[in-house]
Chains A and B, each alone.
Chain A
Amino acid sequence: MTHPGGPAAIAVRGLRKSYGDQVVLDGVGLEVGAGTICALLGPNGAGKTTMVSILTTLIRADGGAICVAGHELPAEAQAVRSVIGVTGQFSAVDKLLTGEENLLLMADLLHLGRAAGRRRAAELLGQFGLAGASRKIAATYSGGMRRRLDLAMTLIGRPSIIFLDEPTAGLDPRSRRALWETVGELRASGVTIFLTTQYLEEADQLADHIALLDHGRLVAQGTAQELKRLVPGGHVSLKFADAAGIESAIRALGGGASAGEALTLQVPSDGSVASLRALLARLDDPQTEIEQLSVHTPDLDDVFLALTSLPPAEKELSG
């Protein structure tokens, strides 16, 4: 199946799913190009895990067209299963088996053959820093180790599309960075990655394409840059030494500023040096003593907060 602008690894149109009265996915449409990283971003309960569960053949959609790696779901589920790898939100390792046994179990189920399976398992144990713990049962692993084993199990069959459902939830910052690096390497090797996250930084760091999901609907999608342009989040934050300072600044700036926390003002700005110079020139009064100045460019946080708090009727920003 080909699409304008290159083949899509995942193509979804009008995806719907509800449980009883509760609508979990309400007409989601999405395309992920082969070899790219797509981040599905959304608050808790937005429907991210349901979406991953449908795309990975765990559950059936109520409606919509779904195509993964050129195979239609749910009709060709087994064909989809043979090309995908999934690392779910909850650790999907067998806790009673050792790290090595877990990998060999996967190798056996993928029919890799004994020698090839052992080779690949040893390679992955080394790559994920688990060689020393390969003979210990997974129940004794730390959260980070278990997640690494989980990912190694996903990779053993060299899937061409990988689904990562909140891959860094509960990981410490070091493990998180290490996982980001791994994801980057996978992308470089041509693997398509579909990941869900609540962390805006993660989406910003990793994804080529970000889709923002809220209450089962895509409220926006595009590159990080495109999303940031959707909200006017840029401003300069000024902190004053005393009340007299802030009052004189408010007089000088007129209606353009809004009061933030105690003794701070937020002034809309594009963050350029010229605009900063102009702003400071207007505040050039010995009485207006500025203690601190910081520049905020819009980040995905602003996008996230602005778009996921809108009432449903105004959510037609996607394009």
Chain B
Amino acid sequence: MSDLRYALRDSATMLRRYLRHLRRYPAMAGMLVGMPVVFLLIFVYVFGATLGAGLGEASTGRTAYIAYVTPGIILMTVAVAATATAVSVCTDLTEGIVARFRTMAIWRPSVLAGHVAGSLIQALLAMTVVTGVAVLIGFRPPADLAQWLAAIGVLALFVLAITWLSVTLGLLAKTPETASNTPMPLMLLPFLGSGFVPTASMPAGLRWFAEYQPFTPVINAVRALLLARPAGDNVIVAVAWSAGIGLASYLWARRLYNRDLVSA
């Protein structure tokens, strides 16, 4: 039991360290919000009327498209946050302070846990702001409280999984430049899924990929919950993907962190 207490205590200490860094350099957090918001505005005001007309749903037009695209933009925020996490993990591990942590009798994964908890908070805040902007420009989800909580739960679990994945990518990268490049494909996944247009409108090969990649069930689940529509098996599939990605990434990250620090 006391082991668990120390694990939590050390992780909380590392989280405080991470949040201090964040407070001292708020520019990074600004990017997390800025980029999805710009995409939201472009997709709603530039493409919105045309794409809305092509949704093939009961209501069409720009307002309908805001409702359709907002879950996609929220998932894009997850991908942007992943890049930030990978860069900050990679940068941090080149610092002497992490070598010092390794020589101390602390709960070993606490350095990584601090990064994950910090990134999770950061990503959830960014998603809140992005959703707020969507509401400002006309997003009016009909969801009730239970559906909101379910949507937040699905998103939080997915963010946790993607954060552990980006910690792994940050540990794998030799330089912060590499760390900022490797999570790039994640940014494309909302596009190559159901984030911006229905997958049914895509050509066969792409459509197959779009329907089976992990972002699609998460986007579909969040969209169904927020728009108070039947979610089908999307919630279950989204949770399964999150659990799988999260667990595999956590184990991989822990292994990478425990390897020899000096390799030459």
Contacts and interface: CB of A to CB of B under 8 A. Distances in A.
B204 interface: no
A241 interface: no
Contacts of B24: 96, 137
A145 B26 CA distance: 27
Contact of B6 (A19, A56, A111, A153): A111
Contact of A58 (B9, B21, B103, B105): B103
B104 A94 contact: no
B117 to A, nearest CB: 15
A19 B264 contact: yes
B261 A92 contact: no
Interface string A50-63: 10010011111000
A148 to B, nearest CB: 15
A110 B104 contact: yes
Given A96-B25, A109-B10, A88 B100 contact: yes
A97 interface: yes
Interface string A284-318: 00000000000000000000000000000000000
B17 A111 contact: no
Interface string B13-48: 100110011001100000000000000000000000
Nearest to A91: B96
Contact of B97 (A50, A93, A108): A93
Given A109-B104, A137-B24, A58 B99 contact: yes
B209 to A, nearest CB: 41
B96 A88 contact: yes
A242 interface: no
A53 B99 CA distance: 10
B233 interface: no
Given A96-B21, A111-B9, A53 B262 contact: yes
Given A93-B96, A137-B24, A105 B17 contact: yes
